[in-house]
């Protein structure tokens, strides 16, 4: 079983050709909502790939929170570990798409209410997990408390450190897997070359390289696992799909290079659909691919 402890949110997306100046009102073209939050995205991706997945986190008591839970349930994710808080609204992201540009405002709200003190409420969920997945959209202290707890109890952990924030070496040591993209890796390891850090954390540190795929050190040498060549329509959620698929494959006993190939394939399919969750493949869809 995979437990994802992390963020859930609603994306509010508007499209406009004209950027409003300060104090100005303009007419845009389109409005859409989409389910997001890296935690929820990764839970949905792993569930579609056939894993038993439980979500832990917090949403508000508002209608957005209800919709977020409904969407998780519809995707086969267990939500008994999601707390509904009264003192904060559900997390949201407000995205404006211009022709060649975008701007985003994130309101963490309930996602910031996942506190270390709450861990007691979901230790059972953690203890029955084969792997716990974390991202950087809940408080750092909570991630640290969970990494400590899992390390003490012999439960595997994967931290996808997105959005970028630094993390103490002590916690990197305790993690089973750390999966930054290149930008996040440079922030976590500012003083070392990429090759140095990869060699320091063989089979633990996996750096994703966008359309190039992913790179890691297998204990003897560096290995690049190339991405699949596709025409992306929306790369939102590529990293989320990659992480969930990598976790799924490793839990099923694949070795690292094969797991990353599986993750690259799932992510390549996901970038061909709109929205973070829109393109995420099911296991059946994966099996239809000639590269499977
Ligand atoms: P993030 O989305 O977190 O910034 P990356 O951009 O590194 O992370 O992408 C994560 C993974 O998604 C890559 O390792 C790759 O497997 C896949 N991916 C991303 N962009 C593309 C692309 N243009 N074509 C094919 N695969 C892609």
**DSSP category for residue 195:** H
Indicate which residue's Cα is closest to atom 22 of ligand 1.
Answer: 211
**C-beta 251 within 6 A of ligand 1:** no
Q: How is 81-106 classified by DSSP, letter by letter?
A: EEEEESSSPPEEEEEEEETTEEEEEE
Whether ipTM exceeds 0.95: yes
Q: Please give the distance, rounded to the nearest whole angstrom, from the Cα atom of residue 248 to the centre of ligand 1.
A: 17
pLDDT tens for each residue of 154-206: 999 999 999 999 999 999 999 999 999 999 999 999 999 999 999 999 999 99
Q: How far apart are CA 215 and CA 221, in angstroms?
A: 11
Q: What is the pTM of this model?
A: 0.97
Q: What is the pLDDT of residue 237?
A: 93
**Closest protein CA for atom 16 of ligand 1:** 264
- Ligand 1: centre distance to CA 191 (Å): 25
Of 182, 215, 235, 240, the residue with max ligand 1 atoms within 8 A of its CB, to mutate for a pocket test, comes to 235
Does residue 118 have its Cβ closer than 6 Å to ligand 1? Answer: no
222-237 exposure pattern, b = at least 16 Cβ within 10 A, e = fewer: ebebebbeeebeeebb
Q: Per DSSP, which regions of the chain are E strands?
A: 2-5, 9-15, 30-36, 53-60, 78-85, 91-98, 101-107, 131-135, 156-160, 177-178, 207-208, 214-217, 222-225
How much is the pLDDT for 101? Answer: 85
Two structure tokens written together for 147:
């990494």
- Six-digit token string for 47: 């569930």
Angle formed by the axes of helices 63-74 and 38-48, to 10°?
A: 20
Q: Token pair of 200, please?
A: 């320091």
Q: Helices 238-251 and 256-270 meet at what angle, rounded to 10?
A: 150
Question: How far, in Å, is the centroid of ligand 1 from the Cα of 144?
Answer: 27
| CA–centroid distance, residue 271 to ligand 1 (Å) | 8
Nearest CA to ligand 1 atom 19: 210
CB 240 within 8 A of CB 38: yes
Give the torsion sign (CA, 213, 224, 157, 142). Answer: negative
Atom of ligand 1 nearest to the CA of 182: 7
Span from the CA of 20 to the centroid of ligand 1 (angstroms): 32
The finding on whether 242 has its CB within 6 A of some atom of ligand 1 is: yes
Residues noted as catalytic: 240
Q: Is 32 helix (H, G, I), strand (E, B) or coil?
A: strand
Residue whose CA lies nearest to ligand 1 atom number 26 = 268
Residue nearest to atom 13 of ligand 1 (CA): 210
Per-block mean pLDDT, blocks of 10 residues, the chain (292 long) = 98 94 96 97 98 98 98 98 97 93 93 94 95 98 98 98 97 98 97 97 98 98 98 94 98 98 98 93 95 88
Give the separation between CA 80 and CA 160, rounded to whole angstroms.
Answer: 23
Closest atom of ligand 1 relative to the 240 alpha carbon: 3
Residue 125 CB: number of other CB atoms within 10 A?
Answer: 19
Q: How many CA atoms lie within 13 A of 94 on its CB side?
A: 5
120 alpha carbon, distance to own chain's centre: 23
Q: Is the CB of 96 under 6 A from ligand 1?
A: no
Model confidence over 143-162: pLDDT tens digits? 999 999 999 999 999 999 99
């Amino acid at each position: 079983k995979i437990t994802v402890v992390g963020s859930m949110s609603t994306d509010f997306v508007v499209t406009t050709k004209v950027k409003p100046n300060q104090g100005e009102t303009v007419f845009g073209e389109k409005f859409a909502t989409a389910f997001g939050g890296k935690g929820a995205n990764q839970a949905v991706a792993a569930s579609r790939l056939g894993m038993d997945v439980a979500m832990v986190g917090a949403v508000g008591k508002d209608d957005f929170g209800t919709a977020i839970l409904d969407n998780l349930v519809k995707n086969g994710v267990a939500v008994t570990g999601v707390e509904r808080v009264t003192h904060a609204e559900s997390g949201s992201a407000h995205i404006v798409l211009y022709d060649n540009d975008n701007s985003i405002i994130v309101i963490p709200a309930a996602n910031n209410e996942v506190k270390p003190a709450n861990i007691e409420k979901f230790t059972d969920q953690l203890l029955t997990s084969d792997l716990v997945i974390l991202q950087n959209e809940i408080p750092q202290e909570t991630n640290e408390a969970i990494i400590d707890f899992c390390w003490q109890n012999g439960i595997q952990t994967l931290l996808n450190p997105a959005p970028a924030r630094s993390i103490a070496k002590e916690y990197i040591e305790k993690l089973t897997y750390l999966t930054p993209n290149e930008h996040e890796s440079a922030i976590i390891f500012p003083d070392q070359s990429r090759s140095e850090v990869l060699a320091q954390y063989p089979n633990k540190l996996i750096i994703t390289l966008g359309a190039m795929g992913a790179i890691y050190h297998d204990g003897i040498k560096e290995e690049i696992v190339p991405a699949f060549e596709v025409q992306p329509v929306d790369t939102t959620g590529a990293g989320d799909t990659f992480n969930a698929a990598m976790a799924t494959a490793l839990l099923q006993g694949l070795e690292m290079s094969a797991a990353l190939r599986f993750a690259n394939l799932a992510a390549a399919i996901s970038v061909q659909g709109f929205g973070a969750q829109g393109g995420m493949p099911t296991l059946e869809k994966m099996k239809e691919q000639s590269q499977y």
